[in-house]
A and B are shown apart, each in its own frame.
Chain A
Amino acid sequence: MAAYLISRDGLFDLLTRVTDSYSVFVPVRRGEKRFFTKFEPSSSPEESSKEMENGRYVIGEVRTFEPLKIFYLRSRGIVADGFEDTVTRAEQKPYCIVGAKACDIKGFKVQDRVFRDDEYKDPFYIREREENLIISADCASVIDTCYCLALHVNPYPEESFDINLSEMSAGFVAESGSEKGKRLINENASLFQEAKAEHIAERDEQRKRIAGEVKKNIKANDIPDQDRLKGVIEKNFNAPIWKEEAETCVECGACNMICPTCHCFLMYDQMDAQRMARLRVWDSCMIKDFAQVAGGANPRDHLWMRLRNRFEKKFDYFPKIGDIYACTGCGRCISACPAKIDIRRILKRLVENV
């Protein structure tokens, strides 16, 4: 794979050009967190380089607060408009997502399986997957909730991107990962130069350093490697862990909403001026009525059963049906949980209890 170098200003130019055909989103730091924010091309080049350097846009660093799935499965979106076969799309341009991280990219493996590669196709998801542009980035820092490597995800994207960026002193090393990415580089060739051996060396050095920090996190928290997770849910099905861990849960569902692999949704219909709109909203398996049938029977009546189910889905169901653990080690559910229910602690307890 050919590697290129693009300067910070060059990238700003590239993104400015891309706004013609895409709605571009770039991570911006607010406090300790990073959020995808709509990219605003500025009028003068001086201003633009300032934007990049002031650290307004944080392309390297670490994962955003929101999961990447927000661009593929809107948290609330229309999936049927009356009895019409097509649905008018609110957003006209497809998305270009900049700075997506490896853990989020792994989320595609689960979402693709459900919405794209299954016997039943989801036309809305597939359209986003086909039309959106992903300019991903290596992690350039680590936060204490990161444990991607335990789930065998390296902290730099290796697939499912159009272009990947590795931030460094001279700008970014850029590599294409798709035809779309290649084309974008070729069409804007003046912004790119060939990366030199020293750039590649700097990138590889940084990758090693970041991986080392994630490993330190894993060690410090004693997080089991996914190789040790096989069968732990079955073995702990009746263990007291679930009741103990669910004790403080307030059933907010944040752990599901924020998770890049959680795919469950709820459909509800709205009547508007005699026209029916069917909406799809993210749903949470932690909420009491998730599996309850119309007659009232509920297979998971208690919170601890729902907590167990959440882990079962991620660490038993998906490995069994798709040979994949539906966790990317992004750590979002840890920071999102108001009850301090920590997936790292639960995984550790599960492994220790077999």
Chain B
Amino acid sequence: MYNSHNPYRPIETAVLEVNTETPTIKTLKLKPKEPLEFETGQFIELTVPGVGEAPFTPSSKPLIKDTIEVSVMRVGKVTERIHELKKGETVGLRGPFGTGYPMDDFKGREVLVVGGGCGFAPLRSLMYEFFEHSGEFKSLFFRGGCKTPKDFLYKKEIEGWSQRDDLDVRLTVDEGDGEWKGNVGVVTTILDGIPMNHAEGIAIVCGPPVMMKFAIKKLQELGFKDTNLYLSMEKNMSCGLGKCGHCRIGTYYACKDGPVFRYDKIKSFPNIWD
């Protein structure tokens, strides 16, 4: 819960590490001056002083309370400046904001996680939560896709996941290269034949809007119920407080009622994928 006196004020934060993940994505390890606890799926606003703010969903373990990691794709003015940040610089953090994944609702269930591109960032944090409570879920599947093998976030780490016996991982790329031995095709091409009860299972989808749109369609065809589908909506988040009006979806604000939504709650709103 966000309880600062002034909700627009960022907390002074030190940049501890900057790691290059892909040609367009860097991961920052940050240490806020005041502890900032988040639930997986919630987001924060990162301020570059004098430049502006941008929203990111932490990719680190919610359990770690003194530092926070975010993976930032270079797409605009603020993210460009974030990519220039060096270890030791000062930034600002606000948050956490919004509603994350309802972990309790997943207990005892079969869970499929479907990720695309930059959607891997929030999903990594989610996967840490699953691993942490490994015994509490019936089974766990991860299906991820990226444009090319170079675009895989946390590649080494995800490859490591395939060694786990509490997880079934499969990856795909839209376009392979000489070294890629896995599946080639969009993520929906690796959703068939997953050994789980589709009618009862949970599916969590996070990625670019088009990818989510087609993944949801595919999952519905496979028999998943709308009430068991979760997605993470990318909107133009700014205040994080349900006030600035920028992120409205139907009767909700993505920054407050989301970014994680159960599909049945938003499916009747027009044009949610645009």
Contacts and interface: CB of A to CB of B under 8 A. Distances in A.
Given A264-B244, A264-B246, A293-B234, A83 B92 contact: yes
Contacts of B47: 269, 276
Interface residues of B, number: 44
A175 to B, nearest CB: 33
B9 to A, nearest CB: 4
Contacts of B248: 291, 313, 317
Nearest to A295: B75
Interface in A241-283: 263-271, 276, 278, 280, 283
Nearest to B45: A267
A182 to B, nearest CB: 31
Contacts of B79: 294
B239 A267 contact: yes
A269 B53 contact: yes
Given A269-B51, A278-B10, 17 more contacts: A80-B9, A85-B5, A86-B6, A120-B2, A121-B7, A122-B7, A237-B270, A263-B243, A269-B53, A283-B246, A294-B54, A294-B75, A294-B236, A295-B234, A297-B209, A297-B274, A300-B274
Interface string B244-271: 1111101100001000000000000011
B6 A291 contact: no
Contacts of A239: none
A320 interface: yes
A265 to B, nearest CB: 5
A280 B8 contact: yes
Given A237-B270, A269-B47, A292-B236, A80 B243 contact: no
Contacts of A280: 8
Given A86-B6, A271-B49, A290 B12 contact: no
A291 B33 CA distance: 32
Contacts of A269: 47, 49-53
Interface in B52-82: 52-54, 73, 75-76, 78-79
A321 interface: yes
Contacts of A120: 2, 7, 241-243, 256
Contact of B10 (A80, A115, A237, A270): A80
Given A80-B8, A84-B9, A291 B246 contact: yes
Contact of B244 (A121, A265, A292, A297): A265
B238 interface: yes
B91 to A, nearest CB: 10
B220 interface: no
B160 to A, nearest CB: 29
B244 A291 contact: no
Given A269-B53, A271-B50, A83 B239 contact: no
A268 B33 CA distance: 23
Contacts of B49: 82, 269, 271, 276
Contacts of B187: none
B52 A85 contact: no
A118 B76 contact: no
B20 to A, nearest CB: 19
A123 interface: yes
A87 B10 contact: no
A110 to B, nearest CB: 11
Interface of B: 2, 4-12, 33, 47, 49-54, 73, 75-76, 78-79, 92, 209, 234-236, 238-239, 241-248, 250-251, 256, 270-271, 274
Contacts of A263: 243, 245
A270 B52 CA distance: 8
Contacts of A292: 236
A265 B11 contact: no
Interface of A is mostly: loop
A351 interface: no
10 contacts: A83-B9, A85-B6, A265-B244, A267-B238, A268-B52, A269-B51, A278-B8, A290-B246, A291-B235, A293-B235
Contacts of B250: 317
A265 B78 CA distance: 18
A149 interface: no
5 closest A-B pairs by beta carbon, nearest first, are A271-B50, A264-B245, A79-B8, A294-B76, A299-B274
Given A290-B236, A291-B246, A294-B75, A85 B50 contact: no
A295 B78 CA distance: 12
Contacts of B238: 266-267
Contacts of A115: 243
A285 interface: yes
A341 interface: no
A150 B250 CA distance: 25
Contacts of A290: 236, 246
Given A292-B236, A294-B75, A299-B274, A114 B8 contact: no
Nearest to B268: A234
B5 A123 contact: yes
B274 A122 contact: no
Contacts of A267: 8, 52-53, 238-239, 244
Contacts of A294: 54, 75-76, 78-79, 236
Contacts of A87: 6
Contacts of B5: 85-86, 123
Contacts of B75: 294-296
Contacts of A271: 49-51
